[in-house]
Amino acid sequence: MKRNLYILLGVIVLIGIALYQNAGPGIQAAFQHEKPMPTETGPEAGLLAPAFTAQGLDGKEYHVGGTRDKAILLNFWASWCEPCKQEAPELNAIAEKYKDSLAVYGVNVTKYDTKKNAQKFVDKYGVQFPVMFDLKADIYEKQYKGVVFPTNVLIDKRGVVQEIVLGILPQKDLEKKVKKLINS
């Protein structure tokens, strides 16, 4: 009799632990396998881009979020990042070619860099688009859940994330994505 009671208590404890770990948006989530569990991976395609305002190297404030006249290519980078160095000329070319329908914003994740090195990078690669500082990585880590440099977030005119590109792509592939973004 005692043995059955211990087994029953053990099962109840295990069920309680399982429910607690999967409770997320509600206890029902533990039993709904057809819907993926929500994760903390940051913005997703089809959802609104997290809004923020940051100061640029030029002293101006730039805002991301909400409806706009142009789509946005949001580029998170650091000056020491080799792929970021490779991508800089390509982003300049895209920013120039699509300037009437696309805003390219660079976000230097200054927590992992310095303002001085960011400025040297901008000067060396002739960055023509606005560059902002994310001093404490609040935008990159907390809002966009960044994990790799560079990260490009493609946001349409309605403020909806259309795609997140981790790492670099050949310019022609990135340009295809930009064309699709502008036409969405």
39 in any annotated domain: no
Residue 172 has pLDDT above 50, yes or no: yes
For residues 171 and 128, state if they share a domain. yes
Across 29-38, 79-88, 113-122, 166-175, least confident range:
29-38
Same domain, 96 and 26: no
pTM: 0.76
Q: In what order do the strands lie in the sheet with 71-77?
A: 131-133, 102-108, 71-77, 151-155, 161-166
H-helix or E-strand containing 16? helix 2-22
* Phi, psi for residue 131 in degrees, rounded to 5: -120, 130
Residues 68 and 152 grouped into a single domain:
yes
pLDDT digits (tens, 9 = 90+) for 112-153: 999 999 999 999 999 999 999 999 999 999 999 999 999 999
Q: Are residues 57 and 123 in the same domain?
A: yes
- Nearest CA to 43 out of 74, 69, 70, 15 is that of 74
Judge whether 47 lies within some domain: no
End-to-end CA distance of the chain: 67
* Containing structural domain, residue 12: 2-31
